[in-house]
Amino acid sequence: MARDRSRPVALIVLDGWGYRAQAEGNAIALANTPTWDSIWAHPARTLLEASGTRVGLPEGQMGNSEVGHLNLGAGRVVMQDLVKINTAIADGSFFKNPVLSHEQLQALAQKAKAKGFEIPSYPALESQRKVSAAWLVEHSGFSKGFSSGRVGISSKHALAIVNRGQASAADILDFKEHIQDRVQQIWGIRLEPEPVLVGAENS
Protein backbone atom coordinates (compact mmCIF):
# COMPACT_ATOMS: atom_id res chain seq x y z
CA MET A 1 0.00 0.00 0.00
CA ALA A 2 1.46 3.35 -1.05
CA ARG A 3 2.25 5.76 1.72
CA ASP A 4 0.07 8.89 1.81
CA ARG A 5 2.44 11.74 1.02
CA SER A 6 -0.21 14.46 1.20
CA ARG A 7 0.43 17.31 3.59
CA PRO A 8 -1.88 20.10 4.76
CA VAL A 9 -1.44 23.44 3.03
CA ALA A 10 -2.24 26.79 4.60
CA LEU A 11 -2.76 29.99 2.64
CA ILE A 12 -1.73 32.83 4.94
CA VAL A 13 -2.38 36.36 3.69
CA LEU A 14 -0.12 39.01 5.25
CA ASP A 15 -1.94 42.25 4.54
CA GLY A 16 0.51 45.07 3.80
CA TRP A 17 3.49 42.71 3.65
CA GLY A 18 5.49 43.21 0.48
CA TYR A 19 8.79 42.13 -1.05
CA ARG A 20 11.77 44.14 -2.23
CA ALA A 21 15.26 42.74 -2.67
CA GLN A 22 17.01 45.94 -1.53
CA ALA A 23 17.38 46.23 2.24
CA GLU A 24 17.87 50.00 2.44
CA GLY A 25 14.69 51.63 3.73
CA ASN A 26 13.01 48.21 3.78
CA ALA A 27 11.33 47.75 7.18
CA ILE A 28 10.62 44.06 6.60
CA ALA A 29 14.17 43.21 5.48
CA LEU A 30 15.72 45.15 8.38
CA ALA A 31 13.43 43.73 11.09
CA ASN A 32 14.13 40.64 13.18
CA THR A 33 11.72 38.10 11.63
CA PRO A 34 13.03 34.58 12.40
CA THR A 35 9.72 32.83 11.62
CA TRP A 36 9.33 34.63 8.33
CA ASP A 37 12.99 34.01 7.47
CA SER A 38 12.58 30.26 8.00
CA ILE A 39 9.43 30.18 5.84
CA TRP A 40 11.06 32.24 3.11
CA ALA A 41 14.12 30.00 3.10
CA HIS A 42 11.94 27.05 2.06
CA PRO A 43 12.13 26.35 -1.70
CA ALA A 44 8.36 25.90 -2.02
CA ARG A 45 7.64 29.62 -2.35
CA THR A 46 6.86 32.17 -5.04
CA LEU A 47 6.02 35.83 -5.54
CA LEU A 48 2.70 37.20 -6.77
CA GLU A 49 2.20 40.51 -8.53
CA ALA A 50 -0.38 42.58 -6.68
CA SER A 51 -0.68 45.71 -8.80
CA GLY A 52 -1.72 46.85 -12.27
CA THR A 53 -3.44 44.54 -14.71
CA ARG A 54 -2.51 41.45 -12.64
CA VAL A 55 -5.29 42.40 -10.21
CA GLY A 56 -7.64 44.17 -12.59
CA LEU A 57 -6.25 47.69 -12.17
CA PRO A 58 -4.83 50.06 -14.79
CA GLU A 59 -1.22 49.43 -15.78
CA GLY A 60 1.17 50.85 -13.18
CA GLN A 61 -1.44 51.48 -10.46
CA MET A 62 -0.59 49.93 -7.10
CA GLY A 63 -2.99 47.53 -5.44
CA ASN A 64 -4.66 47.75 -2.04
CA SER A 65 -6.30 45.51 0.54
CA GLU A 66 -9.76 45.59 -1.06
CA VAL A 67 -8.39 44.66 -4.49
CA GLY A 68 -6.23 41.89 -3.04
CA HIS A 69 -9.05 40.35 -1.03
CA LEU A 70 -11.41 40.50 -4.02
CA ASN A 71 -9.00 38.72 -6.38
CA LEU A 72 -7.98 36.10 -3.81
CA GLY A 73 -11.59 35.40 -2.89
CA ALA A 74 -12.65 35.07 -6.51
CA GLY A 75 -9.65 32.95 -7.47
CA ARG A 76 -9.21 34.98 -10.65
CA VAL A 77 -8.45 38.48 -11.90
CA VAL A 78 -11.45 40.70 -11.18
CA MET A 79 -11.59 43.79 -13.38
CA GLN A 80 -12.06 46.90 -11.24
CA ASP A 81 -14.59 49.62 -12.12
CA LEU A 82 -11.92 51.99 -13.45
CA VAL A 83 -10.61 49.40 -15.90
CA LYS A 84 -14.15 48.62 -17.08
CA ILE A 85 -14.70 52.29 -17.80
CA ASN A 86 -11.32 52.75 -19.49
CA THR A 87 -12.00 49.69 -21.64
CA ALA A 88 -15.47 50.88 -22.53
CA ILE A 89 -14.21 54.24 -23.79
CA ALA A 90 -11.13 52.87 -25.56
CA ASP A 91 -13.01 53.05 -28.86
CA GLY A 92 -13.50 56.79 -28.34
CA SER A 93 -17.24 56.86 -27.69
CA PHE A 94 -18.54 57.67 -24.21
CA PHE A 95 -21.88 59.29 -25.15
CA LYS A 96 -24.60 58.27 -27.58
CA ASN A 97 -25.61 60.59 -30.42
CA PRO A 98 -29.06 61.95 -29.45
CA VAL A 99 -32.01 61.07 -31.69
CA LEU A 100 -34.47 63.97 -31.84
CA SER A 101 -37.96 64.55 -33.14
CA HIS A 102 -38.56 67.27 -35.71
CA GLU A 103 -39.76 69.63 -32.98
CA GLN A 104 -36.77 68.93 -30.75
CA LEU A 105 -34.36 69.46 -33.62
CA GLN A 106 -36.01 72.76 -34.54
CA ALA A 107 -35.70 74.00 -30.96
CA LEU A 108 -32.04 72.95 -30.87
CA ALA A 109 -31.37 74.58 -34.24
CA GLN A 110 -32.83 77.86 -32.98
CA LYS A 111 -30.52 77.80 -29.96
CA ALA A 112 -27.53 77.06 -32.18
CA LYS A 113 -28.50 79.83 -34.64
CA ALA A 114 -28.73 82.34 -31.80
CA LYS A 115 -25.12 81.53 -30.95
CA GLY A 116 -24.01 81.72 -34.57
CA PHE A 117 -23.78 77.97 -35.11
CA GLU A 118 -25.36 75.44 -37.42
CA ILE A 119 -25.73 72.08 -35.74
CA PRO A 120 -24.95 69.00 -37.85
CA SER A 121 -27.63 66.30 -38.09
CA TYR A 122 -28.46 63.27 -40.21
CA PRO A 123 -31.43 60.94 -40.72
CA ALA A 124 -32.28 58.41 -38.01
CA LEU A 125 -35.66 56.74 -37.56
CA GLU A 126 -38.79 57.92 -39.37
CA SER A 127 -39.35 61.66 -38.83
CA GLN A 128 -36.32 61.80 -36.54
CA ARG A 129 -32.80 63.17 -36.85
CA LYS A 130 -29.59 62.21 -35.10
CA VAL A 131 -27.27 64.98 -33.90
CA SER A 132 -23.60 64.79 -33.03
CA ALA A 133 -22.88 64.25 -29.34
CA ALA A 134 -19.29 65.29 -30.02
CA TRP A 135 -20.49 68.63 -31.40
CA LEU A 136 -22.65 69.21 -28.32
CA VAL A 137 -19.77 68.38 -25.98
CA GLU A 138 -17.30 70.63 -27.80
CA HIS A 139 -19.77 73.50 -27.97
CA SER A 140 -20.45 73.26 -24.26
CA GLY A 141 -16.92 74.20 -23.26
CA PHE A 142 -15.21 70.79 -23.49
CA SER A 143 -12.85 71.09 -26.43
CA LYS A 144 -10.46 68.32 -27.45
CA GLY A 145 -7.60 68.18 -24.95
CA PHE A 146 -9.67 69.76 -22.15
CA SER A 147 -8.44 68.80 -18.66
CA SER A 148 -10.13 68.85 -15.28
CA GLY A 149 -7.78 67.57 -12.62
CA ARG A 150 -6.97 63.92 -13.23
CA VAL A 151 -9.48 63.45 -16.05
CA GLY A 152 -10.21 65.19 -19.33
CA ILE A 153 -11.18 64.97 -22.98
CA SER A 154 -8.99 63.20 -25.52
CA SER A 155 -6.98 65.46 -27.80
CA LYS A 156 -8.24 63.37 -30.74
CA HIS A 157 -11.91 62.71 -29.97
CA ALA A 158 -14.42 64.86 -28.09
CA LEU A 159 -16.37 61.79 -26.93
CA ALA A 160 -13.40 60.07 -25.30
CA ILE A 161 -12.98 60.75 -21.60
CA VAL A 162 -9.39 59.98 -20.62
CA ASN A 163 -7.61 59.26 -17.37
CA ARG A 164 -4.76 61.75 -17.01
CA GLY A 165 -3.22 59.56 -14.31
CA GLN A 166 -4.38 58.07 -11.00
CA ALA A 167 -8.02 59.06 -11.54
CA SER A 168 -10.59 56.92 -9.75
CA ALA A 169 -13.80 55.54 -11.23
CA ALA A 170 -15.65 58.17 -9.19
CA ASP A 171 -13.53 60.94 -10.78
CA ILE A 172 -14.49 59.78 -14.26
CA LEU A 173 -18.17 59.38 -13.42
CA ASP A 174 -18.24 62.84 -11.80
CA PHE A 175 -16.68 64.33 -14.94
CA LYS A 176 -19.19 62.45 -17.10
CA GLU A 177 -22.05 63.96 -15.10
CA HIS A 178 -20.46 67.42 -15.29
CA ILE A 179 -20.48 67.16 -19.08
CA GLN A 180 -24.08 65.91 -19.10
CA ASP A 181 -25.21 68.76 -16.83
CA ARG A 182 -23.41 71.40 -18.89
CA VAL A 183 -24.78 70.15 -22.23
CA GLN A 184 -28.29 70.03 -20.77
CA GLN A 185 -27.94 73.53 -19.35
CA ILE A 186 -26.82 75.02 -22.68
CA TRP A 187 -28.68 72.91 -25.25
CA GLY A 188 -31.55 71.33 -23.31
CA ILE A 189 -30.42 67.79 -24.15
CA ARG A 190 -29.38 65.13 -21.64
CA LEU A 191 -26.64 62.97 -23.19
CA GLU A 192 -26.84 59.24 -22.50
CA PRO A 193 -23.65 57.27 -21.81
CA GLU A 194 -22.65 54.71 -24.44
CA PRO A 195 -20.95 52.12 -22.19
CA VAL A 196 -22.90 50.05 -19.70
CA LEU A 197 -21.43 50.91 -16.29
CA VAL A 198 -21.87 47.88 -14.06
CA GLY A 199 -22.49 48.87 -10.46
CA ALA A 200 -22.77 52.56 -11.34
CA GLU A 201 -25.80 54.75 -11.78
CA ASN A 202 -26.40 55.56 -15.45
CA SER A 203 -27.66 59.11 -15.25
DSSP character string of the chain:
--------------TT----S--TT-HHHHS--HHHHHHHTSSS------SGGGGTS-TT----HHHHHHHHHHTS----HHHHHHHHTTTS--BPPPEEEHHHHHHHHHHHHHTT----EEE-STTEEEE-HHHHHHTTT--TT-EETTEEE-SS-TT-EEE-SS--HHHHHHHHHHHHHHHHHHHS--PPBSS--TTS---
Looking at 6, 38, 51, 65, which residue is catalytic? 65
Known active-site residue 65 = yes
Catalytic residue numbers read: 65
